[in-house]
C-alpha cells in the first residue's frame, strides 16, 4: 500500500497526516497526529480517520529536543509500529519568495534558496525546513515536496503585488505575497462541490485562526490578500499585530532603543490578541473572560475583519458571497455572528439556528449576501500536490525510457 506523509512543523510541534494512495489515484486519510510540547513536555498523539486513538505517549524532554527530533520520533513510530513507509513526504513551507509559484521536489539547491526566506517568516520557515534537512540526510532517496503558502497568490496583478517603493527593491523580492494559500486553494477547489452557486463568483474567504487573513477570490483565483511581504500584515492574530504603521517600527528602534531582533520578537510573539488583552492569545479564553481588555481584543479583531472585507470587496468591484474557515471561523458562532453584523452594509444577516449548528449556509433568508462555513483541509491539499508531482515525474521518466 502506497502512502503519502504530510508534515507541518512549527516551533514547538509537528503535525502530521498519512494518506493512502488509492488505485484510481485518489487519496484517503488514514491517520492524523502531532507531537507537541517539544523541548518541554513532549507528547505524541495520533488517531485513525474514524477517531480511534492510535497512540498517546509522553517522552522525557531530552528525548525530543527540537522539531527535527520530533519528526524523527513520529517517523519511527509510523515505521516500526504501524509498518508505514511513505513513498514521499509533503511539507508545508510558508514562504516561497519570488522564485516559487508552485510545489517543487526538494533538492539541496532548492533547500538553500528557501533558507534565504527565514527572516521573512521567522515563526515558520526555519521549523518548516529543519525536518526536510534531516530527512534529506538520513533518507536521501525519499522524495520530499515543498508546498508553499504563498503560491496561490502569485497570480496577482502588478497593482496588488507591489509596494510604492523603489523598483529595485521589488526586483529583489520586496513585494506583497499573501499567505494561507494552501487553505484558500482548498476552499476554491471545494466550492464547486459544496456551494456551486458561488464557485465562479466574487468570494471573500476569511481564514480565521491563531494566524488570520482574508482573501478575495474571483472565479477561483486569488485577486487580493490582507497579508503582504510577511505574515505580520493584515488582520490582528493570536500574537501578531496585523496592519501596522511602519513608523511604529522606526520609533521602537530609534526612540526605545530596541534591536531588530527585539522588535521581531515583539511583533511575532507579544502583539495581537495577546498584546491587546494582556491575558491570552486564545480567542476561546478571551471570549469567556470578563476583563475589559479581553473584550477590547475580541472587538478589535471583529472590527478589523469588517474593515478588510470592505477593502477586498473594492478589489473585486463587489462581492457575491462570504466564507468562514479555519479554527475560529469554523468553530465560533459568536465571532461569526458579530462579523456578519459588521457586513450588514453589504446586505448580510445571520440565521442564528444555522450558525449555532455550524451549518454550511448560515446567512438568513433575507440576507442579500450568502454566508458560508467551509472547513479547510491544507493537509489534503499538500498530499494532492505531492502525489501530482510524483506522478508527473514518473510519467516523464517512462517517456524518456520509451524514447
Q: How does pLDDT run across 301-316, given as a tens digit for each residue?
A: 999 999 999 999 999 9
**Closest to 286 measured CA to CA, from 214, 342, 335:** 335
Beta bridge partners of 237: none
Helix and strand element counts for the chain (H, E): 15, 13
CA distances from 112 to 1, 122, 338, 364 (A): 33, 16, 45, 51
Distance CA 196, CA 192 (A): 4
pLDDT at position 178: 96
Give the Cα-Cα-Cα angle 377, 140, 382 (nearest 5 degrees).
10
For residues 145 and 105, the answer to whether their CB atoms sit within 8 Å is yes
27, three cell numbers = 487519496
| The length of the chain, given as a count of residues | 403
H-only helix segments in 317-368: 326-331, 333-342, 352-356
| pLDDT greater than 70 at residue 402 | no
Other residues' Cβ atoms within 10 Å of the Cβ of residue 237: 24
pLDDT at position 394: 67
pTM (2 d.p.): 0.93
pLDDT at position 400: 46
Q: How does pLDDT run across 168-198, given as a tens digit for each residue?
A: 999 999 999 999 999 999 999 999 999 999 9
For residues 197 and 289, the answer to whether their CB atoms sit within 8 Å is no
DSSP 59-78: --GGGS-SHHHHHHHHHHHH
Q: How does pLDDT run across 224-275, given as a tens digit for each residue?
A: 999 999 999 999 999 999 999 999 999 999 999 999 999 999 999 999 999 9
Q: How does pLDDT run across 127-148, given as a tens digit for each residue?
A: 899 889 989 988 999 999 999 9
Instruction: Indicate the pLDDT class of residue 329, thresholds 50, 70 and 90.
Output: very high
Q: Which of 36, 62, 66, 149 is catalytic?
A: 149
Residues 6+ apart with CB under 8 A from 381: 147, 182, 183, 185, 186, 189
In the annotation, is 149 catalytic? Answer: yes
Residues 6+ apart with CB under 8 A from 145: 88, 89, 90, 91, 103, 104, 105, 106, 382, 385, 386, 389, 390
49, three cell numbers = 480517520
Helix or strand run (H / E) with residue 3: strand 3-9
For residues 147 and 382, the answer to whether their CB atoms sit within 8 Å is yes
Distance CA 20, CA 31 (A): 9
Amino acid at each position: 500500500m502506497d502512502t503519502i506523509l504530510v508534515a507541518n512543523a512549527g516551533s514547538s510541534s509537528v503535525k502530521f497526516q498519512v494518506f493512502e494512495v488509492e488505485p484510481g489515484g485518489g487519496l484517503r486519510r488514514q491517520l492524523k497526529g502531532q507531537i507537541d510540547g517539544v523541548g518541554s513536555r513532549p507528547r505524541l498523539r495520533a488517531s485513525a480517520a474514524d477517531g480511534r486513538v492510535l497512540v498517546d505517549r509522553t517522552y522525557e524532554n531530552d528525548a525530543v529536543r527540537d522539531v527535527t527530533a520530533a519528526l524523527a520520533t513520529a517517523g519511527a513510530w509510523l515505521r516500526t509500529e504501524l509498518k508505514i513507509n511513505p513513498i514521499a513526504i509533503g511539507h508545508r513551507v510558508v514562504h516561497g519568495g519570488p522564485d516559487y509559484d508552485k510545489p517543487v521536489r526538494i533538492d539541496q539547491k532548492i533547500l538553500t534558496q528557501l533558507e534565504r526566506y527565514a527572516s521573512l517568516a521567522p515563526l515558520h520557515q526555519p521549523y518548516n525546513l529543519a525536518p526536510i534537512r534531516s530527512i534529506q540526510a538520513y533518507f536521501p532517496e525519499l522524495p520530499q515536496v515543498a508546498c508553499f503558502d504563498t503560491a496561490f497568490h502569485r497570480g496577482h496583478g502588478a497593482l496588488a503585488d507591489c509596494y510604492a517603493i523603489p523598483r529595485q527593491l521589488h526586483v529583489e523580492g520586496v513585494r506583497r505575497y499573501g499567505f494561507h494559500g494552501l487553505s484558500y486553494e482548498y476552499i476554491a477547489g471545494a466550492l464547486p462541490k459544496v456551494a456551486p452557486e458561488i464557485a465562479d463568483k466574487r468570494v471573500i474567504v476569511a481564514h480565521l485562526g491563531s494566524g488570520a487573513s482574508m482573501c478575495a477570490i474571483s472565479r477561483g483565483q486569488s485577486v487580493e490578500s490582507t497579508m503582504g511581504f510577511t505574515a505580520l500584515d493584515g488582520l490582528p492574530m493570536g500574537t501578531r499585530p496585523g496592519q501596522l504603521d511602519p513608523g511604529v517600527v522606526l520609533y521602537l528602534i530609534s526612540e526605545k532603543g530596541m534591536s531588530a531582533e527585539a522588535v521581531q520578537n515583539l511583533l511575532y510573539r507579544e502583539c495581537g490578541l495577546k498584546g491587546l488583552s494582556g491575558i491570552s492569545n486564545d480567542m476561546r479564553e478571551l471570549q469567556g473572560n470578563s476583563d475589559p481588555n479581553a473584550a477590547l481584543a475580541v472587538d478589535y479583531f471583529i472590527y478589523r475583519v469588517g474593515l478588510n472585507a470592505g477593502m477586498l470587496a473594492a478589489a473585486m468591484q463587489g462581492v457575491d458571497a462570504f466564507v468562514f474557515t479555519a479554527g475560529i471561523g469554523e468553530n465560533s458562532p459568536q465571532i461569526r455572528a458579530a462579523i456578519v453584523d459588521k457586513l450588514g452594509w453589504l446586505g448580510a444577516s445571520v440565521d442564528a439556528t444555522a450558525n449555532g449548528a455550524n451549518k454550511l449556509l448560515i446567512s438568513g433568508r433575507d440576507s442579500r449576501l450568502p454566508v458560508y462555513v467551509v472547513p479547510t483541509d491544507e493537509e489534503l491539499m499538500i498530499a494532492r500536490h505531492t502525489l501530482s508531482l510524483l506522478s508527473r515525474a514518473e510519467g516523464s521518466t517512462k517517456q524518456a525510457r520509451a524514447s
